[in-house]
Amino acid sequence: MFSLQSDSPKPPSLSTGVETMSSHFLRLPPPPPPPPLRPTSQRRWQFSSQHKPTLTCHNNHDLRSRNSLSQTLISSSQPVIAHKSSRRCVKVRSGLNFPLISPSDQWGNWAALFSIGAIGSWSETTRMRNVISGTLVSILIGLIASNLGIVSGDAHAYSIVLEYLLPLAVPLLLFRADMFRVVRSTGKLLLAFLIGSLATTIGTMVAYWMVPMRGIGQDGWKIAAALMGRHIGGAVNYVAIAEALRVSPSVLAAGLAADNVICAVFFTTLFALAAMVPPEEVSLSTVDVIEDVKPEPGGKLPLLPSATALAVSFAICKVGSSITKYFAIPGGSLPAVTAVVVVLATAFPKPFTYLAPAGEVMALIIMQVFFGVVGASGNIGNVITTAPSIFLFIAIQLMVHLAVILGLGKVFGFELKQLLLASNANVGGPTTACGMATAKGWSSMVVPSLLVGIFGIAIATFLGVAFGAKVLQYM
């Protein structure tokens, strides 16, 4: 007997001269094949000399098929790399998730928006306001935060600001929009303001003819209409027209950014021209009129007027929204809300003037938050691409505006300070016009410049939407 541990027995050893064998072994079979080698863990790695390197592995045993062999290699503790190209694709997984404040993080988004608004409001109280406005500060912070991945470019909080807070700010800004008082108190300044509005319209046509902004598609004529409303009324009109005409967020942000830069140069030019006009002597009647529109002493925000202003503003927004839906007015509810508050402020001037100081403060806060949303919704690449043409458009628009208002004003015999204040009210709005009259010592013009600026906000949205849809769209 043979005791072999191998699976296949070895052939019996035959010695020469042995003749006494069993008949079973008289005819010897052919020798069996050699036994298979026992599996070992040794592997031979072979690299081919081709241009495309391949890495193969050969085991010393052939007990498994190629598929099972590959599975064994993959599950082995040592890594096996197989690639057909010399290029390596590396995936790096960061521990941070961008944006840092996710779109679903409601508290985080609201905290970011109101922080941006607070920084923009704070910048208006520093020397920074002489170089860059609070509006532009809020836009730039929102734009940078969004493109760096700090906040999202599209969050539910943004739609709430656009759909609810922005319409709420319009009545709060227009509680002083008593048209009878505007006509009665402004005198020739109102006529100068109307000439300035005509000058802005002419400047818009000339600028759009010279810089049609076809590179931004259908947003070209829309942003031109929005900038026309901006330079008749104010920033709130720009936003209202842009929403009514559905301007894309990046173009909206680029327009506001370019406008703030050009307006800074424009206001410097106005103050340089105003240096030729001496200040006035303050009269008692002028002081009385000024005190009539000033906020309550101490700059406090009283509780009852603030609460009442919010309640009235919400009610006006409800009425404006219902009118828009009932008559199927295209372009959103802002034009209807503007019309309702102007009618009410004209019909009931005393209670609305009482609510105006508290309403204006809350409206300015909401507008700063909105400018933060405008920045966060924009894309830096798109802003850089679209801003140059908008820069050129605004520069031509305001140059034509200034030339026309000064030329026609001289023809009709207006004083230089009236023309400069009217131009300031057109381009900057009531606050900048009132500030210019105060800074130059033109005391009799402080309240009229404030009122004509409010008048511009009341009419600019309707003019911009109508002129854009009926004229600019077909140029």
Residues 329-341 have a mean pLDDT of 84
Query: pLDDT at position 315, please?
Result: 96
Q: Which of 75-79, 381-385, 406-410 has the lowest mean pLDDT?
A: 75-79
Query: pLDDT at position 201, please?
Result: 97
Neighbours of 60 (CB within 10 A): 12
- Terminal Cα distance for the chain, rounded: 111
> Band of the pLDDT at 74, cuts 50, 70, 90?
very low
Q: Which of 156-160, 227-231, 244-248, 435-439 has the lowest mean pLDDT?
A: 435-439
Higher-confidence residue of 8 and 176: namely 176
Higher-confidence residue of 402 and 32: namely 402
CB distance 206 to 440 below 8 Å: no
> Band of the pLDDT at 347, cuts 50, 70, 90?
very high
Query: pLDDT at position 295, please?
Result: 46
Query: pLDDT at position 282, please?
Result: 54
Residues 252-257 have a mean pLDDT of 86
**Residues contacting residue 467 through CB under 8 Å, at least 6 positions apart:** 201, 204, 225, 228
Residues 346-352 have a mean pLDDT of 94
393-412 pLDDT, tens digit each: 999 999 999 999 999 999 99
Q: Which of 198-212, 241-255, 350-364, 376-390 has the lowest mean pLDDT?
A: 376-390
Query: pLDDT at position 90, please?
Result: 52
Q: Which of 308-317, 329-338, 406-415 has the lowest mean pLDDT?
A: 329-338
Query: pLDDT at position 346, please?
Result: 93
Burial status of residue 295 (CB atoms within 10 A of its CB: 0-12, 13-18, 19 or more):
middle
Give per-residue burial for 163-199: e unless 16+ CB within 10 Å, then b.
eebbbbbbbbbbbbbbbebbeebbeebbbbbbbbbbb
**DSSP string over 14-36:** --TT-----GGGSSPPPPPPPPP
- Nearest Cα residue to 109 out of 372, 378, 365, 364: 372
Query: pLDDT at position 17, please?
Result: 43
Residue 54 has pLDDT above 50, yes or no: no
Residues 27-36 have a mean pLDDT of 61
Residues 65-73 have a mean pLDDT of 44
Query: pLDDT at position 386, please?
Result: 78
Neighbours of 287 (CB within 10 A): 11
Residue 297 has pLDDT above 60, yes or no: no
Residue 467 has pLDDT above 90, yes or no: yes
> Band of the pLDDT at 33, cuts 50, 70, 90?
low
- Nearest Cα residue to 426 out of 188, 194, 110: 194
195-249 pLDDT, tens digit each: 999 999 999 999 999 987 877 888 999 999 999 999 999 888 998 999 889 898 8
User: Ranked by mean pLDDT, which of 10-19, 251-260, 281-290 comes out on top?
Assistant: 251-260
Query: pLDDT at position 329, please?
Result: 78
Tokens of 13: 């050893």
Mean of pLDDT over the chain? 79
State what percent of residues in the chain have pLDDT above 70. Answer: 74
Residue 90 φ then ψ, to 5° = -115, 125
Query: Rounded to whole angstroms, how far apart are CA atoms 246 and 363?
Result: 23
State what percent of residues in the chain have pLDDT above 90. Answer: 39
105-149 pLDDT, tens digit each: 999 999 999 999 999 889 888 887 766 778 778 888 988 998 899
Query: pLDDT at position 1, please?
Result: 44
The pTM is what? 0.68
Residue 414 has pLDDT above 60, yes or no: yes
